[in-house]
Amino acid sequence: MIVALLAASGGHWAALQSVAWTTMLAKNLQSASMSRALETTFDGKHPCPLCKAVAAGKAAEQKSEFNLELKRLEYPPAPDGFILVAPAQFRLLPQTNFSAETLAHKPPVPPPRDRFV
């Protein structure tokens, strides 16, 4: 249920973006200092292919979300004269008491005893 909730709220894009940032940071750390690698990774001016794919996917998902068309609900035609008819036979079922006291009974034989006692 948690996975479905995350997928419905766009959590998969956040997970993919996290993977993209981690990959970019690792590549940037190979050739630059920590501060420069962090700046290059998160400035938005140097997106990797996965960052571009995530951005395109988010944009496509947002466009399709608001593309809903409201349609008029159509119901089948109802008959003009709706009549309730009583059943031909009617009988009340007997009242039964299903309380715990009426259902509790003792077993017909005593329980078996342990042989090794």
What pLDDT digit, counting tens, does each position of 42-89 carry? Answer: 888 888 898 898 888 888 877 655 555 667 777 788 777 778 888 888
The whole-angstrom separation of Cα 115 and Cα 117 is: 6
Of the listed ranges 86-90, 92-96, 101-105, the one predicted with least confidence: 101-105
> What is the pTM (predicted TM-score) of this model?
0.49
Strand (E) or helix (H) holding 21: helix 11-31
- CB atoms near residue 50 (< 10 Å): 15
pLDDT at 29 over 80: yes
